[in-house]
Structure 1
């Protein structure tokens, strides 16, 4: 689909379903061992439909990765001024626990993250999703800093936070998927909180005091 075309909810769900199948196939068979035909067969769609939804087979991972990104942006958009990030994340983890499908999607996303270092085309898709994340961070940061969205500090902070989030995502994914370590949700949230504070030199992370 071209960037100018509107995507219906039905189409978005279809793309997400394809993405889940593609991520599973890439993990099981590798990227080179998976074709567009394989993805179409697994999703129960025609290959032509796959290419109508996606520009290449590697881009099929984007809807699943974007789902995790959108969830985190939504969490930040609901971040009350009076709470620190760590306090807000603790509240959200309790009040909005992951569903079984959420957990399955997060595992798939972590697997893809571990593959991006050796698969340049997957890396491109991964970074494109993080670019969308950066754009989503801008209004949240502008609001908390009391600055216009176009302000350089806001845009630099968004870029820094995106980079920090990516590093945490890759490190946690590698620890869990490759090294077989157990990383709790609390540990992951603490890493995210620390990364955002350090990436912005303490500008973000605490409550708004102005």
Structure 2
């Protein structure tokens, strides 16, 4: 929350119009808080359906109010970023920063990483890095034209026999093939004369 307030009141007026990261960081930080509020409300609803008197507790109502405030701020700053900067720039940066902020917020508030075994931690980090690298590659090469000519020869469409290019041809013709080719040449010459 402190980072969000600094970005809103200090960095936003100074650098918000020129740097895409300012408004997107505000959206990501506030968005991670909204995800945590939704998790808390989900737990409250689960307890409500199990028969516990959750509606009398103030925490559920505080989480609901915080969720409405966080979503309003998040949408406001996301719209500001989209008004100033190109969507193809804002979207991948927002997705990566939002995912990072949610993982950090969940680790701090819910202490999820303390209860995870090593396999799950490695899987979560690997999945996150795969998403980040995939988004980077999609947007880094979005303007590069990909034609079939860029493919290896055996994968190019329209080739009669794709496996033929991988086979080696003999350097010297055998005697049978040589005699056949001479006979074929004679037949071709006779056809041309006719």
| Alignment TM class, shorter chain as reference | 0.3 to 0.5
Structure possessing the higher radius of gyration over alpha carbons:
2
Greater per-residue helix proportion: 2
